Copies of this chain bind each other. A is one copy, B any other.
Amino acid sequence: MNNITDIHYGPLPADSPYVKPFRFHYTQNGKQKSWDLLKVHDSVSIVIYNVTRKKLVFVKQFRPAVYHGIISGDGVQPGSIDMTKYPPEIAVTLELCAGIIDKPISTIEIAREEVLEECGYDIPVERIEHIMRYRSGVGTSGAEQTLFYAEVTDADKVSSAGGGVDDEIIDVVEYDLDEARKLTEKGTVITSPPSFLFGVLWFLTNRAPKS
């Protein structure tokens, strides 16, 4: 997964299909204002609990944006990245199974596909529970994310699936409830998004079996 070399970066081409930046203009209480933002896809994320193993199922992957966030925070300029000092492992994130909404099927069907493609569990949409909707990146993108919950068993596992499709390279990892709870506690420093932390804590509060 982490055999990553030759990292460099440059300007965004005008025709990027993924990141479409804009300057937004408006008048508030008579004063003209502007705000710079970008359009990104809406998305889904799924808290997955394997009841056979009593484990939460998460994904790990190398995230270029996190790598860039770390090195640019240190003042590293494009073209001069010291990969000994900044190995790719610093930007491997722990996340919920998730995906963008980029085709005309229902949100829950997108969630079903991501559970299969990323984590290798083949379950019908009837076993996926809609939890809530919120807005990620309220300062920059405002995209909607829908959170789902699904319980799976080892019998749902498809051995040929999981790990991502096309160019994705994703590791599936399992955490027991104590390990997961520690991630949500004071002192945590983690390359995970807040939607991961919320999803885990929501599960622990509302769905985790009592020990």
Contact = CB atoms under 8 A, between A and B. Distances in A.
Interface of A: 3-13, 16, 18-19, 21-31, 33, 35-40, 42-43, 62-70, 72-73, 78, 88, 91, 93, 95, 100, 129-145, 167, 169, 184-198, 201-202, 205-206
Copies of this chain, tallied across the complex: 2
Given A26-B5, A134-B193, A141 B205 contact: no
Given A65-B140, A193-B135, A193-B136, A19 B4 contact: no
Contacts of A21: 11-12, 16, 19, 21, 38
B40 A27 contact: no
Given A25-B9, A142-B91, A134 B194 contact: yes
Contacts of A191: 134-135, 138
Contact of A35 (B31, B36, B64, B206): B64
Contact of A26 (B4, B25, B37): B4
A143 B70 CA distance: 8
A137 B26 contact: no
A186 B26 contact: no
Listed residue (A13, A138, A206) with the most chain B CB atoms within 10 angstroms of its CB = A138
Nearest to A5: B27
13 contacts: A12-B21, A16-B36, A19-B38, A19-B140, A28-B62, A38-B38, A39-B68, A39-B72, A67-B142, A95-B138, A129-B186, A134-B191, A136-B137
A138 B93 contact: yes
A54 to B, nearest CB: 21
